[in-house]
Chains A and B, each alone.
Chain A
Amino acid sequence: MKKFIFLIILIPIFNLGKAQNLQSEYRYLCLVKSQSSQLIKDNLRNAEIYADSLFLKDIPQTELAALFFKELGDNYSAIGKADLALFSYLRQRFLYPNDSISLYVEQQMRINATKLNMDNQSTEYLIQRSSHYNLSSEKETNTNKLLYSSIQIETKNLSTLLLHYLDLAKFKNFTPSDFILKWEDVSRMHMPLKYKIDYVNRDFKSLNNKQQERYYCTLTRFYIQQKAWGMAQETYQKLKNLQPEKPKNKPCLKARIDLHL
């Protein structure tokens, strides 16, 4: 009986503690939004740490979490990082949907999408896809949808954060879709953004010779960076075998592999 009473006392205090942290983070975001951009920038690292914990845990204060992500988006928007703002709004809509702020968030998404030079059709598609009625009750499905939608708006700044979220999703034992896994492969090897979509949307065998060559070159460079010399040599051979009758020589790559540079 004593243990039971002790537990009853502890659980509300534990929940209160978590609420206080989330509350203070949310209020601080509100407070600095209208102040100097340096204050906002200083706080973003802390806010992202908290956003990670909101992704990993299922907290009862869903309304506060939704407001937190909305404010995070507003903060990014205030310092001109439209891509990260859009990702924050998407996080709110996919992970903590809330109808009472939905109209405001949609409007902000349109404004930030304009800054990213997105066309109206893509923006409306993004808004429709992230609407509450299109979401599943499963967090795993919503996370996959979030990552898929975020890949559509990917920028150089956003890539690192998306890979981090993919890691968090894997940590939670979520199974990413094939599209996301393909995207992960080309992202990890630092494929330039403008070529990425070719490799994600199409089967490797259907790619032309130049695209396959670019893939192997990037992969070889990635292995060299990782000092995986054996793998680099193997990939370099594949690159040479692409056109056996007219083998492409990349003396710089060859030298780096041979000299372990």
Chain B
Amino acid sequence: MKKPITLIFLIILALNSFSQDIDIYQKKKNSNYELPYLNSQTSFEEFQLLNRTLRLQDMAYAAVVPGYVHFKVKEPIVGYSMVALRTAGYGGILYILNDGSFSLTELINNSPSSSADVDKFNQQKTIAYASLGLIFSTYLFDWIHGKHRLEKKQERIRYKYGVKLNLAVQTDQSGNFNQPMLGVRVNF
């Protein structure tokens, strides 16, 4: 009796185990094989937008690639702005590192050595805070605003085709149902 129970347990375990996925939302099947039902007027861009979801791994990518979410949401102008701002942020950090007068930790902790030039320290502190602010704010903006834009766009697409589908079978202005029927009608 023990053997069949162990076998059943092993089968259940095998069915519920998946290949490695860094995301916490695991997919139980490969959705790439599913052919979606699409409205005949759907453009490829609309299909792409509907098909895209922001997942945990995208959050990690957005930290590395500036403007990643906005590029994914098909808003390249905002995406490139993010690239420019993040580059400016990295530029500021590089300037501090290249100058070498103070370390980044010193500047952030606001703890200059006793022999430090106070004016220079304050100047570099401003640059450090501004640069780090730019890097983090662009990352957060990219993630939060990008997610908001994607949801808005998806809502608009779903609304458009959903309403059209209903409008096609609703009653006309005189209250008649526009459903397939047989009969003879003469228009004058």
B160 within 8 A of A: yes
Q: Is the interface of B mostly helix, strand, loop or mixed?
A: loop
B159 within 8 A of A: yes
B126 within 8 A of A: no
Most chain B CB neighbours (cut-off 10 Å) among A13, A25, A46, A49: A46
> In the complex, how many angstroms separate the beta carbon of A40 from the nearest chain B beta carbon?
11
> In the complex, how many angstroms separate the beta carbon of A132 from the nearest chain B beta carbon?
19
A residues lining the B interface (CB < 8 Å) = 9, 12-13, 16, 19-21, 23-25, 27-28, 31, 38-39, 42-43, 45-46, 49
Complex: chain B residue closest to A45, CB-CB: B43
Most chain A CB neighbours (cut-off 10 Å) among B43, B156, B168, B180: B168
Inter-chain pairs besides A12-B182, A39-B159, 18 sampled, C-beta below 8 Å: A9-B182, A13-B180, A16-B180, A20-B169, A23-B168, A23-B172, A23-B178, A24-B165, A24-B168, A25-B164, A27-B167, A28-B160, A28-B163, A28-B164, A42-B156, A42-B157, A45-B43, A46-B41
> In the complex, how many angstroms separate the beta carbon of B45 from the nearest chain A beta carbon?
10
> In the complex, how many angstroms separate the beta carbon of A45 from the nearest chain B beta carbon?
7
Q: Is the CB of B156 within 8 A of A31?
A: no
Q: With the chains together, A46 CA to B40 CA distance in Å? A: 10
> In the complex, how many angstroms separate the beta carbon of B154 from the nearest chain A beta carbon?
12
Q: Is the CB of B163 within 8 A of A31?
A: yes
B residues lining the A interface (CB < 8 Å) = 41, 43, 156-157, 159-160, 163-165, 167-170, 172, 178, 180, 182-183
Within 8 Å CB of A20, what residues of B? 168-169, 178
Q: With the chains together, A168 CA to B21 CA distance in Å? A: 51
Within 8 Å CB of A27, what residues of B? 167, 170
> In the complex, how many angstroms separate the beta carbon of B167 from the nearest chain A beta carbon?
4
Within 8 Å CB of B41, what residues of A? 46, 49
Q: A24-B167, A28-B163, A31-B163 are in contact. Are A19 and B178 (CB under 8 A)?
A: yes
Complex: chain A residue closest to B172, CB-CB: A23
Q: Is the interface of A mostly helix, strand, loop or mixed?
A: helix
> In the complex, how many angstroms separate the beta carbon of A109 from the nearest chain B beta carbon?
25
Within 8 Å CB of A23, what residues of B? 167-168, 172, 178
- Listed from nearest, the 8 A-B pairs whose CB atoms lie closest are A24-B168, A24-B167, A20-B168, A27-B167, A46-B41, A24-B164, A28-B164, A42-B156
Q: A16-B178, A23-B178 are in contact. Are A39 and B160 (CB under 8 A)?
A: yes
Complex: chain A residue closest to B157, CB-CB: A42
* 20 sample A-B contacts, Cβ–Cβ < 8 Å, listed by A number: A9-B182, A12-B182, A12-B183, A13-B180, A19-B178, A20-B168, A20-B178, A23-B178, A24-B168, A25-B164, A27-B167, A28-B160, A28-B167, A31-B167, A38-B156, A39-B156, A39-B159, A39-B160, A42-B156, A42-B160
Within 8 Å CB of A12, what residues of B? 182-183
> In the complex, how many angstroms separate the beta carbon of A259 from the nearest chain B beta carbon?
30
Q: With the chains together, A109 CA to B160 CA distance in Å? A: 28
Most chain B CB neighbours (cut-off 10 Å) among A9, A19, A38, A42: A42
> In the complex, how many angstroms separate the beta carbon of B87 from the nearest chain A beta carbon?
30
Q: With the chains together, A31 CA to B168 CA distance in Å? A: 13
> In the complex, how many angstroms separate the beta carbon of B148 from the nearest chain A beta carbon?
14
Within 8 Å CB of A38, what residues of B? 156
Within 8 Å CB of A43, what residues of B? 160
Most chain A CB neighbours (cut-off 10 Å) among B157, B164, B170: B164
Complex: chain A residue closest to B169, CB-CB: A20
> In the complex, how many angstroms separate the beta carbon of A146 from the nearest chain B beta carbon?
25
Q: Is the CB of A21 within 8 A of B43?
A: no
Complex: chain B residue closest to A35, CB-CB: B159
Within 8 Å CB of B180, what residues of A? 13, 16
Q: With the chains together, A106 CA to B172 CA distance in Å? A: 26
